[in-house]
Every structure is written in C-alpha cells, then in structure tokens.
Structure 1
Amino acid sequence: MKKAKLQRLVHQYFNDTISRADCVELLEYLNNTNPDEIADVIDTELINFNKGPEFRGKQSADVLSRIKSDPRFTQSPVVEEAYPVIVKFYSRRWFQIAAALLVFGTAALIIFNKNTSNQATKKYTADQGAGAIVPGSNKAILTLAGGKTIVLKNAANGLLAQTAAGNVLKTNNGQILYSTASKTDAATNQDNINTLSTPRGGTYQVVLSDGTKVWLNAASSISYPVAFTGKERHVSLSGEAYFEVAKNKEMPFYVSINNVQVKVLGTHFNIAAYNDDNEITTTLLEGAVQVTKNNARSLLRPGQKAIVNNNSDNIAVSDADIEDAMAWKNGYFIFDDDDITGIMKKVSRWYDVSVSYQGNVSNQKFGGTFYRSKSITELLQYLEKIGKIHFTVEGRRIIVMK
C-alpha cells in the first residue's frame, strides 16, 4: 500500500469516517505488515490529534485482540464480542499502534454506537460542571526566610526579592532563579532558607544559586538556602522532584527526605517521596548517587532505582523504568499494571480532586500512557473502556465503583 493511501485510511479510521471496505483493507494491511514500517504514519496522527493512550503488558495484548476482532475486519454484519485472536508481535511499537486504533476506533463500536459514547461524555460534563476540574498548571508559592509568601502565578516577572545573600528572580518562561551575592555576604547569611511549594494541581521549576535545576511535581515542596556556603550543599524535599545537580566535587549535594538522605556530586535523578506513599523511590538517570537511611546505604548506577520502605531501613536496588519515572516531568501519566488506588492518587494530586471508593475495586490492574494535559473526563472514560470500573463525578469528588 502506498504511503499516501495509508495516511488517508489511518486518518479516516481515527475520525470514524472510514468505509467498511476501506477498514477491512486497512486492518488486513496492518495484520501483515511490520508495525515499524507504519510507525511514522501513526505518530503523525497522534501528534495531529494530541491524544490517545499507549498500552503495555497484558492489556496491550487484549487491546490488539479486540482490534483484530473488529467486525469490519471479519466482514461480519453484526457487532458482537469475538474471541481473542492470537497474533505475532514484532515489538512494543505494535502495542502503541493497536492502542491508538482502539482509542479512535474503539474496535468499530464507536461508529455503530456513537449515541452511547456521546451520552457518557454528557454524563461527566454534567456532573463536573464546565471547567470545574482542569489539569494542573505552572503554579507555586515561594516562602522567603522572613516568612513572607509570594504567589508566583500572580507575581510579575523580574525581581521578586533582594537579600544580602542574593536576589530572587522570576523569569518569563515560568521558573525562579537565584543570583548569589559576594561570598562574604552569602556566608554571613547562610541560614537564609527559602521554600518553594506546589499545591495539588501545580508544578514549578527553580534554578538554585549553584546552577542546580529542580522540577517540582504537584503537592511537593523543597527548602534550600538562597546561597550555598561551606563544604556541602543541603536541601530538603517533600513530594516528588527531578534534579539536575550542578557538578562540584568539592561541595557534594545532599537531598534529605525525613530520615533518608541522597548524596550526589553532579547528576540527574528523580525522587518520589509523597507522605501518603509507603516508600521513597530514587531513580538515577546519569552520574552516581548514594542513598542512606540510618546505618543502611546503597550506591546507584545509571538506570537503577532504590526503594526505601518507610517502616524499615532496607534499601532495595533494582533496574528502573526511566520512562515511567520521568513521565510526570514529560507531561504523561504512565500506568504499568497499577491498581486503581495508586492511579487515583496521581489523578487526585494533578487534578486537585478528592477520591472515594464504593465496593472492592483494588484488585483491578491498569496499564497505559495518558497526556496530563487532557481533561479528567477523557481519562475516566479511557479507564472505563479498558477495565471493569465506573466513575461518578460530584463537584470535585470522584467516586470509583465497579
């Protein structure tokens, strides 16, 4: 099939405007073609539409089986649930393609059942109220050493504060940075501690006085001196943050989270340490870090993670899924066979909602990738499509039920 025709058919499939004959031809072609050969076409459509989850693991196979059971592919005039079809997978890429086709075609059922889909959308929209629940955005509160607070979303760009230890500035690209005064002035003001805090539904970036860059996820905070002095650099963290630490062998960098400490010289890593989680996870992208809790310590290599349970001193080191750890910073949710309670923790932090449960739903596992910029309505609908679960939205409360 020529690329131009393939692009046309894929575009029509995503728009639910494809004819039955063309759909049969498209699915037959996909069934007999290495997915890497059509990856560019699929990617183009995903970019154009700017939505659609990617699925992994067992659910990916289920998704693909449902696509292969498309009534237009089998040329069956009746839409009915088919048995799974065994197929060969060339690579994980096929999972992404399969998921994309499912989302926009929903295994042919969207074409035949548009009214049902529209009613579901109306249910969520009516329940939550127009614009009541929106994705998180760039917002945070800066608390200066004297206790003064600055709501950064409302603050003008430019100079925010001026101290003997250095100046605090807000840039036009949505971050704050510190310029250090003379070493003498900084040394005499070494207790000049600032705290940057993001609310639920917020994220922000700060560039510390040594050039270290820190990205804060929602419901997180970091405390640090306006200027680093002495032989060590110390910050404290609550929640989740990604660090790109400026290299300085003579002045190691420490991140403290309760009684866990991460020591670095200059490296890139992520720390997830929310108070309502049972563990602290440090994921290393490059460089080296040492994780310590009381008398236990472990050294991480790039591509590894360390998990410290809150109730013990044990430090479990294993290979990390870097894509998963960095998803939030890159604008995604990634669910890797996560249970619904873990997923809804992330959802509640990012969309600033409360969550309650009716019945036992904790045994269900979900996998997939979803843009954090999309509406909560779309996210809940996708979860309902791929699992035996339902949601009701009442104001800013989401009720999860079977």
Structure 2
Amino acid sequence: MVDDYHINLIKKYLDNQCSPAEKLEIETWFEHYSGGDRTFYNNDSGLINDAMFRSLVNIRERITASETTEVDGKEVRLQPKFRFRYAAIAATVLLFIVAGSYLAIHKKAAAPKLARRSLPKADTPRSTNKAILTLANGKKIVLDDAKSGKLAVQGNSSVTKAVDGRIIYKAADRAASNDEVAYNTITTPNGGQYQVVLPDGSNVWLDAASSITYPSAFTGNKRQVKLTGQAYFEVAKNHEKPFLVNVDDKQQIEVLGTHFNIQAYPDDRDVKTTLLEGSVKLTYKNNHAILKPGQMAVNAPDQALLIKQADVYEVMAWKNNMFVFNNENIKSIMKRLARWYDIDVAFNGNMENVNFFGNYSRSKGLSNLLRDIELIDKVHFKIKGRRVTVTAP
C-alpha cells in the first residue's frame, strides 16, 4: 500500500520539495487510500512503522489546513476534495481487504475451488520496458534488445540509449536552418512501456500499445508531436516555442511547459486529457478550452467537450505501475488487461452491471489478479494460452 515510490514522494512533500504536480498526486493518493481503508490511520494495524505513521498524520494535517481560505478578512472552510467521495466506496474497498485476508488465512481450503476455475496457481507478469524505435529511413531498432550507448544519428541529433533504458535525443548546440529534420516513432507493444527524452528536453512516458512520432530537432516556431494511445508528458518550458500534441488527429493540445496525461487509444470512445501542472489549451473541432491543474477534458465524436474534476491518482496509476478500478465495468477492465498482458478476451453472459473497485500492482501476474477479482464472485475466468474467457454466473 505504502510502496517505495510513495515513501520517496512523502519525504519530498514533507520537505516542501514537491512540484505542484507531485503535490497534487500525493494528496490525491493519500485521500484515495485513507478514504477507503480505515486501517490506514491505525498504527496498530502493522501496515506502517512509527515514522511513516507520523508522516501520514502530517500529510492529513496539511491537507486539512489547505481546506480553509480567507474571504473579506474571515476564514472560510472549504469542502475537502476527495474525502466524502471515497467514503461512499469504503465498504466495497473494505470488502477487497477482507477477501484478501480470508484468502491468506484459508489458502488451502480455497485452492480446490480456484483450481476448478482453470486459473494457474501463480504466474509472472509480461510487464517490462519494451518498445521499437522506427528511424526516418524505416530502420527499426528493438530497444529492449539494444545495448546502452549511441544508437543512431538523425538529422542534427544523436540518439542514445541511457543505462537506465531511456532514449535520449541530443541536438547539436547550433543547428542550421537548412539542416534536415528526421521524424522518428517509438511504439510500445502490448505489455510494454517506455520513456523518451525529446530533443528539447521534454520527458514522455509511453504506456502499453502506444506510439509517439516526433522530429529529431524542433525547428521553426513550434514543437509538434503526434500521439496514439496513452502517454504522460513533462514538457520543457519554452515560451517562444509552444509544444503541440496532435492526438490521433482527434484533438490538439498546446502548452508552453507543463505536466499532463493523455489517453487516446483507437478502440476507446473518448479522448481524455488530464492536467497536473501548468495550463494547456485544447482544440476539438471548433471548441477550445483551457484546463487548470486537477481538471480533465473528455471529448467523444458525438458530444461537446466536457471539462470535469479529475481523479489524479486513478489517471496516473499506470505510470506508478498500478491498476485502479473505480466502479469500472468488467469489459473496460479486461480491455486494459488485454493491453498490458497481451491477451485476447471473450465474454459469456451479461456484463452490463458487472463493476469492480480495487487497486492492484501491474507487476502482479495475470492469473493472480484474476483470482482476486473472482473472490467477489461476480464473474469467473478461464485461461487457455493467450485467451481469457470471462463468464458471468
């Protein structure tokens, strides 16, 4: 629950070293868990040590303090952003906790029942840093197989694979206006993800089954890329060169320097853009909108652009190696699992009202995750090779 990533983020938060995006993320994460798991506050639970407990209490105090403001010289208490929202689902989340505890205590008794459902006892995830870099001349480089070091020269930029696996573009200090600009594409397969540092220093994290196309150097008066799938952007600030994202020819996003997430898979009906820091301008058909941190823009082909408050923890779960299901339908869940575990999915029965709450590590093997979902007893799964059949009782 309190993993290494969030421990480090908590330390930065308490030392006032978080960026606005990180501050929003840790507060949303805290409210998400503390609203649904009562033992989160309970130091007797054994889930956290004394130092971590004091840190979490400190976060609670800071969030509470931020829920007041001054109007005309008087202190006005604001409604907490997330507390009451998650209290409504506390019972369901608690059910997951109780079910998990029951399975741990009665593992031997449960084994025969699970075996009849054709789920392996254990498996390993397919998750890893996997991607293919397609150069301007059509040459393809399998990045997970490539060794660290310089991979290619594209136009006026060198392409390097860092020791930590990132792909980094470094343009020459001075680029001539007539230098050739080469367009490259990084594509992640099902079960893959990757990080690339663009020629301007912007960082992009690609989720599974996604791709980004970009120039080897940003020339002219703008920086433009094209995205399909899901990606998180931390754009380097440059007020003289706006950063433009063409979202699968469905939407255009313009920023100067900011942090945001885009979900735009071809088989999804909606395109979702969530802002964590800074501001972005969206253009959808003839509609324009300016997002504020914590807001999400949703557009569908037959609807007007919708702006709403985002659940930042849920949106950013994929980047933090998590699945978060917030009353999500099983068909939507299985679509996400298909991208991550590279499986084919079939359904038997009516899935219309089969929804789930839950939080799972994406490092967890597929059959282990499906076994946990089965404990709620709404659906059963059968795995045969790469095919998973979902049956409603």
Name the TM-score class by shorter chain: 0.7 to 0.9
Q: In 2 relative to 1, CA 121–246 (structure 1 residues): closer, same or farther, beyond 3 Å?
A: farther
| Structure 1: segments with no counterpart, 5+ residues | 1-32, 48-55, 67-98
Q: CA deviation at 1:41?
A: 2.4
Residue in 2 that maps onto 1:302: 293
Distance 1:63 1:209 in 2: 44
Residue in 2 that maps onto 1:383: 373
Question: Identity across aligned pairs (percent)?
Answer: 43
SS at match of 1:285: strand
Q: CA deviation at 1:165?
A: 1.5
RMSD: 2.6
Q: In 2 relative to 1, CA 122–331 (structure 1 residues): closer, same or farther, beyond 3 Å?
A: farther
Residue in 2 that maps onto 1:325: 315
Residue in 2 that maps onto 1:344: 334
Match of 1:200 among 174, 178, 190: 190
Residue in 1 that maps onto 2:29: none
Aligned letter for 2:308? Answer: S
- 1:232-247 mapped onto 2 (5 Å cutoff): 232-247=222-237
Match of 2:43 among 23, 28, 38: 38
SS at match of 2:204: strand
- 1:118-133 mapped onto 2 (5 Å cutoff): 119-120=113-114, 124=118, 126=120
Match of 2:102 among 105, 109, 112: 105
Q: CA deviation at 1:382?
A: 1.1
Residues 125-147 of structure 1: per-residue CA shift (max 9 Å, x gap) = 559xx86x733210000000111
- 1:24-173 mapped onto 2 (5 Å cutoff): 36-38=41-43, 41-43=46-48, 60-62=90-92, 64=94, 99-106=96-103, 111-112=105-106, 114-117=108-111, 119-120=113-114, 124=118, 126=120, 134-173=125-164
Q: CA deviation at 1:305?
A: 0.5
Residues 62-100 of structure 1: per-residue CA shift (max 9 Å, x gap) = 464x6xxxxxxxxxxxxxxxxxxxxxxxxxxxxxxxx44
SS at match of 1:177: strand
1:221 aligns with 2:211: yes
Residues 168-209 of structure 1: per-residue CA shift (max 9 Å, x gap) = 00011011000102443465213x100000000100000001
Residues 271-327 of structure 1: per-residue CA shift (max 9 Å, x gap) = 000000001000000000011112101000001010011234x11001111001100
Residue in 2 that maps onto 1:354: 344
Distance 2:119 2:107 in 1: 19
Distance 1:35 1:148 in 2: 51
Aligned letter for 2:257? Answer: G
Residue in 2 that maps onto 1:211: 201
Q: In 2 relative to 1, CA 249–221 (structure 1 residues): closer, same or farther, beyond 3 Å?
A: same
8 Å contact from structure 2 (residues 271, 300) kept in 1: yes
Distance 1:39 1:262 in 2: 48
Distance 1:57 1:344 in 2: 26
8 Å contact from structure 1 (residues 164, 185) kept in 2: no
Residue in 1 that maps onto 2:238: 248
Comparing 279-288 with 176-185, greater Cα deviation is found at 176-185
Q: In 2 relative to 1, CA 112–189 (structure 1 residues): closer, same or farther, beyond 3 Å?
A: closer
8 Å contact from structure 1 (residues 165, 182) kept in 2: no
Aligned letter for 2:274? Answer: T
| Structure 2: segments with no counterpart, 5+ residues | 1-37, 53-85
Aligned letter for 1:273? Answer: A
Q: In 2 relative to 1, CA 390–153 (structure 1 residues): closer, same or farther, beyond 3 Å?
A: same
Distance 1:259 1:161 in 2: 32
Distance 1:271 1:187 in 2: 33
Larger radius of gyration: 1
8 Å contact from structure 1 (residues 59, 366) kept in 2: no
